Structure 1
Amino acid sequence: MLAAWRRLEQALDPIALFARVAHLPYSLWLDSGAHGRYMILAWDPVRRVDLRFDDPQCPFETIDQLLAEAPQVDAPADAPPYLSGVLGTLGYELGWNLERIGDAKPNPHGIPDGVLILPGKAVILDVLEKATWVVAVTESASADTAVDELLSWCLEPCAPVEAPTTPVARSPLRPEIVKADYLDRVRQVKQYIREGDIFQANLTYQIAVEVADGDPWALFLALRETNGGTYAGYFNIPGYVILSGSPELFLRWDQQTIETIPIKGTRPRGTDAASDLALRDELATSEKDRAELLMIVDLERNDLGKFCRAGSVEVPVLFDLEAHRTVWHQVAVVRGRLPEQIRASEILRATFPGGSITGAPKIRAMQIIHELENSRRGIYTGALGFLDARGHSAWNIAIRTMTYTAEREIRLYVGGGIVADSDPEDEYKETQVKAQGMLRAIDRWSAGTIRPEWV
């Protein structure tokens, strides 16, 4: 397998480019929001692997094998973190391969628990340097010829992306659980905490809406407009499109260091500057939210400590506050130094799924989650990201994430961490706050009022 790249000293329009391929099977978009540096557009895979939690071979070892096939790229020091490698999704249930959690719940669409691609074509935009990197991977043809053809394609005039103007008929929202049942399940989690089983569990549910028609790529543009997403992504798996506006980093590593940035603590944004500041201050002084974050920081420190250099795991940031389009979040940064030789599978086996969306202790929390939740989580609270052949990697926690199925059903997913002093009513309200950006996206998309420009 061969690879070649070209650097273009101009920033192309990512939305206009990707609009030409968003409908293709396994086309994928990753970006880091309005203030991020890189966007990755990838399609036309030369290899694809579907992962299932009950595969005889550990799915994380399968990732190592696929990554080993990716050609090495002789790139300069200022190259983006991704040029050649593996991109895709890791569903929450892949964590069941490592520990016995319970009997599998129905998988009505037959969707794999993970899908990874080694793309034949990729375009990486460096917003800071206003540069575009174009990469082609081939199995037999000349990689130089392929990358020059791809570059020519990128430079072809693109028709402006027009906002959809035709309304999309849709059903009312259909939560899979009524409020009273969610409150009761919060109380059940609190009972497990009182009995000493766990310190915290992340309890979630799904909301469905049926639509008559509509373009999932346009829905993703609406999600970016209403929700934003520091670690966002779109992945067109046939029959099951993933649209993620995640604010949370699961893992990011290079050849030397690794970090995770867990979120615990949420408040809505205010309606004016004064109320916004008051809500921020309320989160900053909440003992309950601080305790919730500390529990997960301890869990993440333990997970990284399984493979990082002895004594290197640290918490350089604790109780920081981040402003997003619809919410305030409280975050921490947990960081460690990697040994000289370590495989991606070793890292993922020790950390997946992320502790912020399971609870602590992780395995017992996952067992209780399985008992209390109605459905498989799938991509929700799994991860979407990349592994580069040079040793770079980044994955989100797939929250603020929707799926769009071939049956024209949109599913969105919400939840929150439950601790000893959680108030069930407050926890339910928090799930509604977290849903707002996604619901507004569906409203704008179905009304045909999306602005397609880059924000």
Structure 2
Amino acid sequence: MILPSKKKFIELIKYGSIPPLYESIPFLPPYSIYERIISSNSFIFESVKGHEKIARYSFIGFEPCMIFKIKNGIAEIESLSKKIIQTRKPLALMKTIMNYYRQKSFENLPPFQGGFAGIISYDFVQYIEKLPSNSKDDTNLPDAHMFIIDKLIAFDHVLKKCWIIVCPGVRESLENHEINGISWDEKYDEASCIISNIKKRLENNSDNYDDFFQKSKQIIEIVYEMKKYQYMDIVKHAKNYIAAGDIFQANLSQRVSACIKDKKPWNIYKVLRSINPSPFAAFVDFGNYKIVSSSPERLLRVKDRNIDTRPIAGTRPRGRDTGEDEFMREELILNEKERAEHIMLIDLERNDIGRVSDYGTVRVDELMITEDYSHVIHIVSNINGRLSPDKDCFDVIRAAFPGGTITGVPKVRCMEIIDELEPVKRGPYTGSLGYISFTGNMDLNIIIRTFVIKGETVYVQVGAGIVADSDPEREYHETLKKAEALIRTLQHV
């Protein structure tokens, strides 16, 4: 049954906000539902594994009513036509777009019920801070690439429930810059028809999950884009900055690439979610490039005006049994160097969140706990605050993007050094992927453990945290280990 009823829907609109229409459908694994509707300009944000606080919901979006992109200050808004806007303030532009459609939220539904969904590249920081831009941009990907979603499928893994959600009248509201003058009676009928059509598409049971999981005969040749001495050299430069008191720590990355030939990006995602299940897994098809991610880390969440950030810093490999796991956890949490680095990052994130929170509401509600993932153990903390009445999601992004765990401390100076030392722009790597809802809710991850696929080339970027006593050779091999672990998943496609 579609809810709310037409009578209730019309009543709610009189109060100035538009409710979504929704219908419950049988709960199935999100990947199996996405497989039935997969198309260009679509996504799945999937909580494959993790505890309830970070891995409760999954979302599938497709056929966006609009697409927002920005590159080097030129924004494109694609709908029935294309608008080109020059701006150095894309967050303000996105906020203006969102304000044309005021949505009423239903508390019984997951927190994303329509809005922006996609990626904010690391290089988006140019619109937040004044930074140099000297590194090479060889992939030429957008600084931000967002779908405006008016139809989606949402999953609650705790309740084992699933809904089709449709937002009536989004395109008309955004194009006309208001909700007045729209026949909401007709829009209700249109949205009901869309829900019925989606249900019919989902009846196509084409689940072939096991077909792709095999040992590939293709040898994956990895192209190392930095030679060993080059990476060691940038580590030495960072250590010099630390010794001079310029910074305390920095995250320096290198990129590797490989040719995937005829391997399908969707099959790569299915392998990755199986081998490395994570709370913030994602597959996004942007048409001319794809994102395949198994990120474990949340950058920012805003839910009912409560802000969370969840930094991960400190890692050990999983043991062969529970006894070895316990030894690794204890060794990690008692390591003075790891603890000092983590505390530094907590202080940075507290400061970022504090800039947009009510005074006195910022607190660390989880301090240096350990969390087990498929291959590693991490030190994790959770910082939260109450969003100030005059602030919104876009202010939170402005205050806290990108994450301190993937830049360093202090953040702005570290980003200047990253631009100086890293030879290519980071692109999506260490940016964020997720949603910004019409209702004011938001959830963004940090893009790590991720493939960026363009044509037949797959890119993987990996970093290491550099501190005063870092050994350049060890840090080089640490990044290789991370990259090769990801590239090896391609052997199973």
Fold shared by both chains (TM-score > 0.5): yes
User: 1: distance between equivalents of 2:483 and 2:320?
Assistant: 17
What amino acid is the match of 2:157? V
Report the residue type matching 2:31 in the other structure.
I
Q: Which of structures 1 and 2 has the larger relative contact order (alpha carbons within 8 angstroms, sep 6+)?
A: 1
Q: 1:342 Cα deviation (Å)?
A: 1.8
**Alignment pair present for 1:414 and 2:462:** yes
Q: Which residue of 1 aligns with 2:33?
A: 17
Q: 2:199 aligns with which of 135, 151, 160?
A: 151
Q: Which of 285, 301, 314 is equivalent to 2:350?
A: 301
CA distance in 1, matches of 2:166, 2:400: 32
Q: CA deviation at 1:125?
A: 1.5
CA distance in 1, matches of 2:327, 2:60: 39
Decide whether aligned partners of structure 1 residues 99 and 351 sit closer, same or farther in structure 2, where only a CA change above 3 A counts: same
The match for 2:270 among 215, 221, 238 is 221
Deviations along 1:420-454, one digit per CA (max 9) or x if unpaired, are: 22232332343244335423321212xxxxxxxxx
What is residue 41 of structure 1 aligned with on the other side?
60
Per-residue deviation at 1:166?
8.4
Within the candidate set 137, 144, 152, 1:122 is matched to 152
Alpha-carbon distance change, 367 to 74 in structure 1, aligned in 2, over 3 angstroms: closer
| 1:74–1:314 CA distance, 2 compared to 1 (3 A) | closer
1:100 aligned partner:
130
Greater shift, 55-64 or 298-307, is seen at 55-64
Asked whether the 8 Å contact 1:223–1:437 carries over to 2, the reply is no
2:362 and 2:148 mapped to 1: Cα distance?
32
Q: CA deviation at 1:251?
A: 0.3
SS at match of 2:36: coil
Does the alignment pair 1:79 with 2:116? no
> What letter matches 1:316 in structure 2?
D
* Residue 404 of structure 2 corresponds to residue 355 of structure 1: yes
- Residue in structure 2 matching 1:131, options 161, 175, 179: 161
Partner of 1:61: 92
Q: Specify which of 294, 314, 328 is matched with residue 363 of structure 2.
A: 314
1:230-241 matched pairs, under 5 angstroms = 230-241=279-290
* SS of corresponding position for 1:19: helix
Number of the residue aligned with 2:21: 5
1:336 aligns with 2:336: no
Q: TM-score, normalised by structure 1?
A: 0.91
**CA RMSD across the alignment:** 2.1
Q: 2:310 — aligned with what?
A: 261
Tell me how far 1:296 sits from its aligned partner: 1.1
Question: Following the alignment from structure 1 to structure 2, what is the Cα–Cα distance between the partners of residues 171 and 436?
Answer: 10
Does the aligned pair in 1 maintain the 2:152–2:165 contact within 8 Å?
yes
Aligned to 2:491: 443
Q: What letter matches 2:428 in structure 1?
A: I
Distance 1:237 1:227, change over 3 A: same
Structure 1 residue 148: Cα displacement: 2.2
Secondary structure of the residue aligned to 2:60 is strand
TM-score (norm 2): 0.85
Structure 2 residue aligned with 1:52: 71
Quote how far apart the aligned CAs of 1:162 are.
Answer: 4.4
Alignment of 1:356-435 (within 5 A): 356-406=405-455, 408-435=456-483
CA distance in 1, matches of 2:248, 2:122: 21
Is the alpha carbon distance of 1:118 and 1:236 closer, same or farther for their aligned partners in structure 2, counting shifts above 3 Å?
same
Q: Residues 85-112 of structure 1: CA distance to partner in whole angstroms, max 9, x if unpaired?
A: 1111000000012222212533334321
Q: Deviations over 1:253-292 (max 9, x none)?
A: 1233101011111111223434333322221111111111
State the Cα distance separating 1:70 from its structure 2 match. Answer: 4.5
Structure 1 unaligned spans of 5+ = 446-455
Q: Give the whole-Å Cα distance in 1 for the aligned partners of 2:60 and 2:245.
A: 46
Larger Rg: 2
Aligned residues: 442
Equivalents in 2 of 1:166, 1:224: separation in Å?
A: 16
In structure 2, list runs of 5 or more residues that go unmatched.
1-16, 75-86, 173-186
What displacement does 1:332 show? 1.2
- 1:257-296 equivalences under 5 Å are 257-296=306-345
State the match for 2:182 in structure 1: none
Give the 5 Å matches for 1:154-193: 154-164=202-212, 167=216, 169-193=218-242
AA of the residue aligned to 2:366: V
